[in-house]
Structure 1
Amino acid sequence: MPNITLNKLDSLRAVLRGYGSCLVAYSGGVDSALLAVVAHEQLGDRMLAVIADSPSLPRRELSEAKLLAVEHAIPLHILHTSEFDNSEYQSNPVNRCFYCKHELFSHLKPLAIDRKMSVIAYGENVSDLGDWRPGAEAASKFEVRAPLKEADLTKDNIREISSYLRLPTADKPQTPCLSSRIPYGQKVTPEKVGMIEEAELFLRDLGFNEVRVRHHDSGPVAKIEVVPEQLSQLREEETFQAVLASFTRIGYSEVQVDEKGYRRGSLNPSEKMN
């Protein structure tokens, strides 16, 4: 691993030691997994990882996050959040993530006080700057820290360090919440995200690891995004017929393939980079 990245890892360790104690918002994704592992390495029982469990978190993601915590002896608390009871979240505005993170941090704040944790931290990093991240506004409101960003870590740095530490998340694809598959302005419901979860699980079991199923209400229609190099595999007659049969059983009346392939944030508003 390059010295500059090793130096950033040392910086992250120093940042976390400086906190004294830390409650980590943990999902098991590449960013929060590294944060939780290094926080535990530096703080021991003066840290606590907290998973927000709701319908928008795939069950497989929850299981993998719990397993990683067990393997690294990370203290873990599962918090059941209620963003789906919030009409503002359900209406799915362009800043939907604000309401989700607000719900999470509003529970983490008293938990941190109760557990005598001086800092709440989450996995924002330097590569997130300039991206569409309304959740960062909620983090600012609750004074949540971003140690990965404070240590100047990019997404590539995080993957390099994760590989160096032999974490299983080093090459893990991005896994945003299931609600992100529903176009803004179309209502978010547990039933819809349940359909999305089942559809994506089927595709992943076929070998499509970087995949999104965009759920459109008219029908409903499932629009599949896979990485461009796997488009031909998805178009194979036998594969697509299996997908069509599975998605029909799930409840979709039409299945489309996005010919542009998977790209991050394809449903984000065009003004996100302003």
Structure 2
Amino acid sequence: MKYFNDYKSCIVALSGGIDSAAVLKLAVDELGTDDVAAATCVNPHVFNYEIRNAELIANALGVKWYTFTSTPSEEFFENVTDKCYYCKKSVIGEIFKIAEKYGYQAVCDGSNIDDLDDYRPGMKILKEYGVFSPLLEAVMDKKDAETIAGKIDHPDIFFNTESCAATRIKTGRITEVRLENIEKIEDKLRYNYPGIRVRDYGETAKIEFKIKRSLTELDREVIDNVVGKFFEKVEFE
């Protein structure tokens, strides 16, 4: 099956996650490395391990890799309900600038049919900018993406079920310090507790897991010791 019939070249919004990695793999397989590139946002709301993962993916597939920063509007920092819309608008806008500068015909992302089941205000940007979503067009889900991304050969690539750090801040203004603290905590816990989410409610942190699991008293103690260095109160969901 061909996924890029309408395009001769493209640049993929590469987050370092499974979905965008799968799209980059499909693009390289069909269009070749010379006509495909990847672009990764390196703002503070993006986990550093994901940025490193994106670099490894781009290198493993042999494509050019562009990094950039974007400047979301004030609504993002005010932590409004649809902050993801304002964030993604700034990110996608920058990728289109890169595409125009270097002559890539299409901008692609990793959206798939499973994303349609969630509240994702950032999805509106895809239509507004004309982003091409190969997985969505091919009616593929996250399991399909996992299969495709699993064919990328590199021992150090680590795929985790992730969302950006800004989604962790549930109340109050989004600041770089709060984002950095979330990253410090999750970096220490992520590999032993896959799918962990530290939700910042100001003085209180609530611990959730994307992947449901049972915690022992020792697990709770370990997590509490790490999180308690940054928050006055730790709660487990």
Task: Provide the TM-score with structure 1 as the length reference.
Answer: 0.79
Residue in structure 2 matched with residue 67 of structure 1 by the alignment: 56
Q: Which structure shows the bigger proportion of residues in helix conformation?
A: 1
- 2:182 is the counterpart of 1:196: yes
CA distance 1:42–1:99, shift in 2 (3 Å):
same
Moved more, 240-249 or 191-200: 240-249
Unmatched 5+ stretches in structure 2: none
The corresponding residue for 1:265 is none
Give, in whole Å, the separation in 1 of the partners of 2:141 and 2:156.
15
* Matched residue count: 235
| Equivalence for 1:269 | none
Q: 2:213 aligns with which of 229, 241, 249?
A: 229
1:243 correspondence with 2:208: no
User: Does the Cα contact within 8 Å between 1:181 and 1:213 map onto a contact in 2?
Assistant: yes
Match of 2:13 in 1: 25
**CA RMSD after TM alignment:** 2.1
User: CA-to-partner distance for each residue in 1:218-259, whole Å, 9 max, x for gaps?
Assistant: xx1111113443422xx32xx44443333233x21111111x
Q: Specify the alignment match of 2:80 in structure 1.
A: 93
Q: How does 1:19-168 map to 2 (within 5 A)?
A: 19-43=7-31, 44-83=33-72, 86-164=73-151
Structure 2 distance, partners of 1:111, 1:68, is 19
Contact 1:123 1:148 in 2 (8 A): yes
Specify the structure having the higher radius of gyration (Cα): 1
The unaligned stretches of length 5 or more in structure 1 are 1-9, 259-274
Contact 2:53–2:157 (Cα < 8 Å) also in 1: no
**Cα separation, 1, equivalents of 2:98 and 2:150:** 32
Distance in 2 (CA, whole Å) between partners of 1:120 and 1:17 is 14
1:24–1:49 contact (8 Å) kept in structure 2: yes
Range that drifts further, 170-179 or 101-110: 170-179
Give the TM-score normalised by the residue count of structure 2: 0.91
Percent identity between matched residues is 26
In the alignment, does 2:236 pair up with 1:253? no
The residue that corresponds to 2:200 in the other structure is 215
